[in-house]
């Protein structure tokens, strides 16, 4: 068994979903792992990871609208707003999402289903540089 670790830097254009399937797959390829596990970790508290449909872009639009209804910007009940009206909303959306995704590697590829894409969800309205760590183990 071997392991391989890389930092993946993603520049986001502000709030929205950025697909990172290709970049993550490239790291799996560089790891030389045929059978194993890939773990992607997001080192931020206002961005999260998500596996969702990569076909119809309406799915992503609906998901963002859903999160906006659930954890709206500028809710007067928030105490924390140091960085603006999207600050606490971004923390809440991150808490509803995931800080890591674990995906088996089968036959040298991520075992994603036909319609699954891996996304970084940027929850702040301004562009950010996000740092992910991708950890691959296996044989």
Query: CA-CA-CA-CA torsion for 73, 78, 83, 86, nearest 10 degrees?
Result: -10
Per CB under 8 A, 1 contacts a second copy: yes
> Which structure tokens are listed for 124?
């702040």
Which string of x and - marks every residue 28-67 that binds a second copy (by CB under 8 A)?
Answer: -------xxx-x-x-xxx----xxxx--x-xx-xxx-xx-
Tokens 């790891």, residue?
31
- Sheet of 2-12: strand order equals 2-12, 128-138, 36-42, 100-106, 109-110
Choose, by CB under 8 A, the member of 10, 16, 78, 125 that binds a second copy. Answer: 78
Q: Which residues here bind a second copy, judged by CB under 8 A?
A: 1-3, 5, 35-37, 39, 41, 43-45, 50-53, 56, 58-59, 61-63, 65-66, 70-71, 77-80, 82, 88, 91-92, 94-104, 106, 111-113, 115-116, 131, 133, 135, 137-139
């Amino acid at each position: 068994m071997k392991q391989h670790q890389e930092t993946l830097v993603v520049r986001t254009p502000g709030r929205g979903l950025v697909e990172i399937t290709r970049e993550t797959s490239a790291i799996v390829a560089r790891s030389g792992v045929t059978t194993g596990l890939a773990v992607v970790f997001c080192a931020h508290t206002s961005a999260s990871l998500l596996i969702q449909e990569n076909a119809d872009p309406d799915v992503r639009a609906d998901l963002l609208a859903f999160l906006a209804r659930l954890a709206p910007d500028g809710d007067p009940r928030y105490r924390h707003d140091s960085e603006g009206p999207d600050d606490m909303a971004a923390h809440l959306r991150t808490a509803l999402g995931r800080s890591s995704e674990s995906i088996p590697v089968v036959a040298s590829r991520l075992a994603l289903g036909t319609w699954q894409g891996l996304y970084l969800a940027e929850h702040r309205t301004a562009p950010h540089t996000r740092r992910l760590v991708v950890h691959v183990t296996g044989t």
